[in-house]
């Protein structure tokens, strides 16, 4: 273990051990501070190389229970906040996940959202568009899945594919049925602008948008692909197309850098999460979601004095019931 790795691991361990003693408010503050380092905010000067794929810590085998416990504390805090979000029924949260294959989107969604009430949360996955989708503007299919007030909506891939896979493979753009004169050299800039405007529009209507790029390294992806071949229970997760897309790694990284630069804003930020260590990534994601929920003025709806009198009368009647 390197010296800095050792130092970081010690710091993580110390922080993690303290967590269970903290009040909810202190916990939220910790989560906010922790997530900040991965938040791009205004993307103007964004460079992907400034963000690591590997969290610079390694607690080893014996640290595993502590990492699990830390995630659980985050998941519980998030679930408690979602309960208020749902009861208040004013704000909504849209969480977008984008990543290369095997970066851990599915696992992150499963673990981070494990504590939330399924009634208040919906996950939508966006694969290659159908012919009906292609008969509409590119936001159309996603708009239908936006979260209602009081809900959390998760997009497993999203309209950002329109400036990713579609940018990497020219042929996909050609098959989109767009009028030819609209396909110009400015098309990506145009799409960035449309996305920025769309997210601003959502913000102004009470939907907060946060976006995660799970930043996995090419080497780690290779390991995970091999594991998917070797483990029969994971075979279903792997296809030759995934390996083919890996061949376009550089083009994808360029597309990611461009899109984060152009669509990360203070109000709808991208988080670039080091994804080579799955547990660490999940803790960072939970923290960022807590941060977003904390920006809303969440509180349980209060009832009027008359209503309280009425409730007390009902209680009295129930107690006197024979
Ligand atoms: P898993 O991580 O389990 O493999 P996945 O999200 O990769 O899940 P797949 O069925 O493997 O799901 O693939 C979805 C594919 O659809 C991706 O290759 C993605 O790039 C592609 N896709 C998504 N949106 C679009 C789009 N707008 N245009 C073209 N292709 C798209
Ligand atoms: Mg896939």
Q: Residues 6 or more apart from 242 whose CB is under 8 A from it?
A: 101, 102, 225
Q: Are 294 and 81 in contact (CB under 8 A)?
A: yes
pLDDT tens sequence across 281-296: 999 999 999 999 999 9
Indicate whether residue 220 lines ligand 1 (CB < 6 A): no
pLDDT tens-digit readout, 144-186: 999 999 999 999 999 999 999 999 999 999 999 999 999 999 9
Q: How far is the CA of 168 from the centre of ligand 1 (A)?
A: 13
DSSP state letters, 137-149: -TTHHHHTTPPPT
Residue 95 — φ and ψ, nearest 5°?
Answer: -115, 125
Nearest residue (by CA) to ligand 1, atom 31, is 128
Question: Is the Cβ atom of 172 under 6 angstroms away from ligand 1?
Answer: yes
What is the pLDDT at residue 24? 87
pLDDT above 70 (res 198): yes
**DSSP conformational letter for 122:** E
DSSP-based three-state secondary structure for 292: helix
Average pLDDT of span 53-77: 83
Q: Quote the ligand 1 centre to 68 CA distance (angstroms).
A: 30
pLDDT band of 3, cuts 50, 70, 90: low
| 81: pLDDT strictly greater than 70 | yes
161 lines ligand 1 (CB under 6 A): yes
Contact call for residues 133 and 158 (beta carbons, < 8 A): no
More confident of the two residues 27 and 292: 292
What would the pLDDT profile of 234-263 be if each residue is shown by its tens digit?
Answer: 999 999 999 999 999 999 999 999 999 999
Residue 129 Cβ inside 6 Å of ligand 1? The answer reads yes
Which stretches of the chain are assigned E, i.e. beta strand?
Answer: 92-99, 121-125, 152-156, 207-215, 270-274
Average pLDDT of the chain is 93
- Is 70 exceeded by the pLDDT of residue 5? no
pLDDT at 219 over 80: yes
Ligand at minimal distance from the CA of 106 is: 1
pLDDT digits (tens, 9 = 90+) for 96-112: 999 999 999 999 999 99
Q: Are 46 and 258 in contact (CB under 8 A)?
A: no
Evaluate whether 76 touches 115 at the Cβ level (below 8 Å): yes
Q: Give the model's confidence band at 20: pLDDT under 50 very low, under 70 low, under 90 confident, else very high.
A: confident
What is the pTM (predicted TM-score) of this model?
0.94
Distance CA 204, CA 265 (A): 14
State which ligand 1 atom lies nearest to the alpha carbon of 239: 11
From 101, 105, 127, 278, give the residue whose CB has the most ligand 1 atoms within 8 Å, as the site to mutate. Answer: 127
Angle ∠(216,268,117) on CA atoms, nearest 5? 80
* 8 phi and psi angles, rounded to 5 deg: -65, -40
The pLDDT, as a whole number, for residue 231 is 95
Percent of the chain clearing pLDDT 70 (strictly above): 96
Residue where the block lists tokens 């805090």: 77
Counting residues of the chain whose pLDDT is more than 90, the rounded percentage is: 84
Q: Could you give the CA distance from residue 212 to residue 190 in angstroms, rounded to a whole number? A: 22
- Reported as a single tens digit per residue, the pLDDT across 38-55 is 999 999 999 999 999 998
Rounded-to-integer distance, Cα 23 and Cα 299, Å: 17
Over 60: is that where the pLDDT of 1 sits? no
Domains for the chain: give ranges and CATH numbers.
Answer: 3-319 (3.40.50.300)
**How far, in Å, is the centroid of ligand 1 from the Cα of 286?**
24
> Would the CB of 133 count as within 6 Å of ligand 1?
no
Q: How far is CA 254 from the centre of its chain?
A: 21
Residue 22 — pLDDT band, cuts 50, 70, 90?
confident
Residues in the chain: 322
pLDDT band at 16 (very low <50, low <70, confident <90, very high): confident
13: its two tokens: 């361990």
* SS3 label, residue 272: strand
């Amino acid at each position: 273990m390197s010296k800095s790795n050792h130092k970081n691991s010690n710091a993580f361990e110390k922080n993690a051990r303290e967590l269970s003693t903290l009040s909810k408010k202190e916990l939220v503050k910790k989560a906010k501070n922790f997530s900040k380092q991965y938040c791009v905010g205004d993307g103007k000067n964004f460079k992907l190389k400034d963000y690591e794929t590997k969290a610079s810590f390694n607690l080893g085998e014996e640290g595993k229970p502590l990492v699990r416990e830390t995630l659980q504390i985050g998941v519980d805090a998030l679930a408690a906040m979602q309960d208020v979000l749902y009861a208040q029924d004013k704000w909504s949260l849209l969480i977008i996940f984008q990543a290369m294959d095997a970066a851990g989107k599915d696992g992150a969604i499963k673990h981070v959202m494990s504590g939330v009430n399924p009634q208040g949360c919906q996950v939508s996955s966006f694969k290659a568009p159908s012919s009906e989708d292609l008969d509409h503007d590119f936001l159309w299919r996603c708009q239908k899945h936006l979260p209602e007030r009081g809900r959390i909506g998760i997009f497993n891939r999203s309209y950002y594919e329109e400036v990713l896979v579609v940018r990497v493979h020219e042929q996909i753009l050609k098959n989109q049925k767009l009028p030819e004169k609209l396909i110009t050299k400015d098309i990506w800039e145009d799409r960035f602008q449309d996305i920025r405007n769309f997210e601003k529009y959502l913000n102004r209507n009470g939907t907060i948008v946060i976006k995660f790029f799970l930043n996995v390294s090419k080497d780690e992806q290779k390991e995970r692909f091999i594991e998917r071949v070797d483990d029969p229970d994971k075979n279903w997760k792997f296809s030759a197309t995934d390996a083919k897309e890996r061949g376009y790694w550089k083009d994808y990284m360029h597309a990611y850098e461009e899109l984060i630069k152009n669509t990360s804003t203070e109000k709808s930020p991208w988080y670039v999460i080091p994804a080579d260590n799955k547990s660490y990534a999940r803790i960072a994601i939970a923290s960022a979601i807590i941060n977003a929920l904390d920006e809303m003025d969440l509180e349980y709806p209060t009832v009027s004095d008359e209503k309280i009198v009425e409730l007390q009368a009902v209680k009295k009647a129930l107690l006197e019931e024979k």
